[in-house]
Amino acid sequence: MKTDINFIAQVLSHYQISQIQINGECTDIRSIEFLTETRTSIEPDVLYFGQSAAMKKYLPLQNTLNMIFQEDLPNDFMDIPNLNMIVLPRNLDFLSIFNEVQDALIKEKKYNLWSYELLAQLTHHEGIDSIVKIGYQMLGNPICVTDLSYNTIAITRDKNVDDDPVWNELYTKGYSIYDTSSLYINADLYHFKGNSFPPFYWQDTVSKYRKILCSIDVGNKPAGHLAVIEYEKPFGDDDIKLVSILREALSAEFQINKNIYSSDGTRHKSILRDILSGKTKDKESIEDKGQLLKFPLNVDMYAITIKPGDVSIIPGDSLEYLCNTLENLISNSKTVAYEGNVFMLVYCNKTRNLFKEDFQILYKFLLENKMKAGVSRCLYSLVDLRAHYLQSLHALRLGKILKDKNAIYFYEDYAIFHMMEAGSSQGKLQEYCHPSLLSLMDYDRQNNTSFTKTLYEFIKNSCSIADTANILKIHRTSLIYRLEKIKEIMNVDLNDNNILLLLHLSLKMVEYSDRNINLLGFNTVNFYK
């Protein structure tokens, strides 16, 4: 803050000021002195206490003169150029006022020095840890900075507060567990004054020590929280002011380094990002944070990744807009923009086949907006979330490779191709393909027949004669003839379950190979169309 005549007036505002007049430049005041008749010169950065008689010899004023008077002044003093003055009542103790102003200037000088020190840290990009270290020197008490999900971003590392359970969690675990977070949420602290709040004193039933708490804001929105604990020394009268200065520096650091925090300002998004990225990966941490998502217990969950496609058709901040739209569209869902896509976690008390309604809504939305989605297998614990997120990505990728025209790709339908892809990295898939199937495809090519397709549909339909004949639109007798011919060509027993499993896998290998630049290394038969 600028320590000019207006600052002095603010310091003395609790007195009944008789007159404030500003006729000169509002210069910064660095010191205060008594103005005596023996003084030979005046300085614009000094505040003088004195009588009107002592200043008359300096008239007309060539530079700004800052004065405090305690007397009745002639009216013509109001119009003296370059004179800034405060007039106080006669009944006040002049010496006490002098000391009060001097103390205020010393404090403000201290605030400015700390501000310059913090600015130097920001200018040299020393990082948030260095800012917290400066903050500890300023306040003489431990400091903690967290994001909106109560993850510790920075904390005074050489000063753990063992006997305060809340602080100890942030120090040792690096996050606040569900019960502790709920305490603050229920106290409405993190929704104070429109999701942003200045420093104030706080004492709760769990913590042993008082704290000063405030939000750290970016663009008038909270991006994190700052806490100072009254551990090493009692809070002082100017600590709120010092925390405000520290808060401004942290806000600037958050603005410079947006990787520190979750810019959307929503708790569940930050939690999901931490789990998806692997930042939070141990079981205890994931389960603690998972409770903050407030999903019911014992529910089925699905990880869904949505590729936005042409985001130009989506107004505003495209991915965030898409996240909000999908959360409103699909009940029981949480979304987050992640790695250029939208990740959605959906829960339900039913199996996939029983909550088709939600998927029908999603399917329609994806078609209308020319988007694609990959859906994982069902997961039952957030500990497995990252693995299932990767499943949704594999489903998207494999669906594209296999030229599937659907808008939603279920990993369940592509898992076998994922397995084959892993196998193909070790060598040609031909080595794993059942040789009798290769003989049957060779026979089809030479004789222009479709026995491979017949075998594929037969196995695909659980060896049902009726269902397979219906799919192929042939008579049962014709199907039985074909199956006998297939047995003859392949020289296999189609009643053997092990043989059927190997043939089914081999057929899937051929399908994957044919749609993926022919990994088998020879011409195949399009039996799967």
Q: Which residue has the higher pLDDT, 33 or 509?
A: 33
Of residues 205, 221, 198, the one with CA closest to residue 164: 205
CA distances from 136 to 224, 247, 337 (A): 18, 13, 35
Quick one: pLDDT at residue 193?
A: 42
Chain-centre distance of CA 223, in angstroms? 9
Cβ atoms of residues 373 and 366 within 8 Å: yes
Convert the pLDDT of each residue in 342-372 to its tens digit. 999 988 765 444 456 777 888 888 988 889 9
**Model pLDDT for residues 463-504, shown as the tens digit of each residue:** 999 999 999 999 999 999 999 999 999 988 888 888 888 888
Number of neighbouring beta carbons within 10 Å of residue 485: 15
Backbone φ/ψ region at 24: left (φ over 0), alpha (ψ -120 to 50), beta: beta
pLDDT more than 70, % of the chain: 86
CA dihedral 77, 81, 83, 89 (to 10 degrees): 20
* Lowest model confidence (mean pLDDT) among 299-308, 370-379, 397-406: 397-406
pLDDT tens column, 95-154: 999 999 999 999 999 999 999 999 999 888 888 999 999 999 999 999 999 887 777 889
Q: How confident is the model at residue 396 (pLDDT cuts 50, 70, 90)?
A: very high
pLDDT band at 228 (very low <50, low <70, confident <90, very high): very high
Cβ 181 vs Cβ 292: under 8 Å: yes
Q: How many residues are there in the chain? A: 529
Which pLDDT score, from 0 to 100, does residue 354 have?
41
Q: What is the average pLDDT score of the chain? A: 84
pLDDT score recorded for residue 507 = 86
Contact 203, 210 (CB under 8 A): yes
Mean local confidence (pLDDT), 83-93:
91
**How are beta strands 341-348 and 83-87 bridged, if at all?**
unpaired
pLDDT for the residue numbered 191? 47
Strand-pairing partners, residue 32, are 47
Residue in the block written with tokens 């994957």: 512
Collapsed DSSP state (helix, strand, coil) of residue 49: strand
**Secondary structure of 277-324 in the HEC alphabet?**
HCCCCCHHHHHHHHHHHCCCCCCEEEEEEEECCCHHHCCCCHHHHHHH
The 8-class DSSP code of residue 227 comes to E
Please state, in angstroms and rounded to a whole number, the distance separating the CA atoms of residues 374 and 320.
19
Q: Are the C-beta atoms of residues 414 and 508 closer than 8 Å to each other?
A: no
Residue type, 413: D
194: tokens are 């429109």
pLDDT exceeds cutoff 70 at 276: yes
CA distance 95 to 434: 103
CB atoms < 10 A from the CB of 254, how many?
23
Question: In DSSP terms, which residues pair with 46 in a beta bridge?
Answer: 31
Q: How far is CA 256 from CA 132, 152, 279, in A?
A: 16, 19, 21
* In the predicted structure, residue 55 carries a pLDDT above the cut 80: yes
Other residues' Cβ atoms within 10 Å of the Cβ of residue 391: 25
Higher-confidence residue: 220 or 336? 336
Q: Which residues lie closer than 8 Å to 99 by C-beta, 6 or more apart?
A: none
Report pLDDT for 194: 44
